[in-house]
Structures are given as structure tokens and as C-alpha cells.
């Protein structure tokens, strides 16, 4: 019942989130950009008519395909890093697991370099986008 892939084959929906008996959120997780996926999204919400929210997670980009809300993985990672800071005060293991997931997404989907610590200690250059991303995750959320 999910979105068709590039070959037209239907794939399962990635996440259907329920809150008790309430059908809450449909989440489609994609590795492509929002623009690449836009055509596939049209009308897909009709497959899940009783859900309240529809979210597309993608590598980057914004498109308007009502009722879908587009969320880039970068924003998700920044939010999870902020949550991990608070979570670490209560449960450091859970915070570490969140950060491990974030690191995997940042390296594999966002293309951030691995072994960042080694690059910093050896004074090698790394993309400024990485520094901007980390800095944004450290800023207080309004």
C-alpha cells in the first residue's frame, strides 16, 4: 500500500503511527530529494484516509504536496541531537543510542564525513556544512 518505486512497483509504507485507537501519522522515509518524490506522493494519503498527519522524510528539498509535510533528514538529526542532550541527563545509554542513529543518518544519507574527530585532531579540513549542522543542533530551541 505504499508509494511506487522508480519501476512502478508498490512498496509498503514505512511507518504508520497509532496512539491507542487513534490513527495518527503516516511517515514515508526516502533517500531521494523532495522534488524527486513529489509526483509519487500525489493522492497517496487517500490510502490512509483516517490518519491525522502525513510526513515525508527525505534527504533535502521542500515541495508543497498537501497534506504531506516534508521534513529533511538534516532537521530530524538536529532535533534528535537536541533531544539527546536532555535525555543524557536521565539515561545516557538511550542518549548514546539516539546519537548512534543520528551519526549513521548523517554519514550515510547526508554525506558527512566519518571519523570527524580524527580530522579535527590532525587539523584536516572538513566541509563547513558539518560545522554549521553541529552548531545548529547546539543552539537553544525557541
Position 2 in a domain: no
Residue whose entry in the numeric block shows the C-alpha cell 566541509: 127
Distance CA 61, CA 89 (A): 34
Question: Considering only CA atoms, which of 51, 85, 86, 87 is closest in space to residue 67?
Answer: 51
Does 86 share its domain with 129?
yes
Identify the DSSP state of 43: T
Distance CA 140, CA 130 (A): 18
pLDDT, one tens digit per residue, over 20-30 is 888 889 898 88
What range does the domain containing 47 cover?
15-66
Bridging pattern class, strands 68-72 and 53-58: parallel
Provide the domain count of the chain.
Answer: 2
pLDDT, one tens digit per residue, over 45-99 is 777 778 888 888 888 877 777 888 889 999 999 999 999 999 999 999 999 999 9
* Residues 110/59, Cβ–Cβ less than 8 Å: yes
Position 41 in a domain: yes
Amino acid at each position: 500500500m505504499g508509494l511506487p518505486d522508480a519501476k512502478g512497483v508498490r512498496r509498503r509504507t514505512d511507518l504508520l503511527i497509532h496512539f491507542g485507537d487513534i490513527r495518527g501519522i503516516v511517515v514515508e522515509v526516502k533517500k531521494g530529494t523532495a522534488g524527486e518524490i513529489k509526483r509519487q506522493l500525489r493522492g497517496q494519503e487517500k490510502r490512509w484516509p483516517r490518519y491525522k498527519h502525513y510526513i515525508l522524510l527525505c534527504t533535502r528539498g521542500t515541495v508543497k504536496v498537501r497534506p504531506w509535510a516534508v521534513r529533511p533528514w538534516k532537521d530530524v538529526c538536529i532535533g534528535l541531537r537536541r533531544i539527546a542532550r536532555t535525555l543524557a541527563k536521565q539515561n545516557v545509554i538511550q542518549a548514546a543510542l539516539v546519537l548512534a542513529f543520528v551519526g549513521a543518518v548523517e554519514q550515510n544519507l547526508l554525506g558527512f564525513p566519518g571519523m570527524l574527530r580524527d580530522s579535527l585532531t590532525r587539523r584536516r579540513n572538513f566541509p563547513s556544512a558539518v560545522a554549521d549542522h553541529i552548531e545548529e543542533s547546539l543552539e537553544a530551541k525557541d
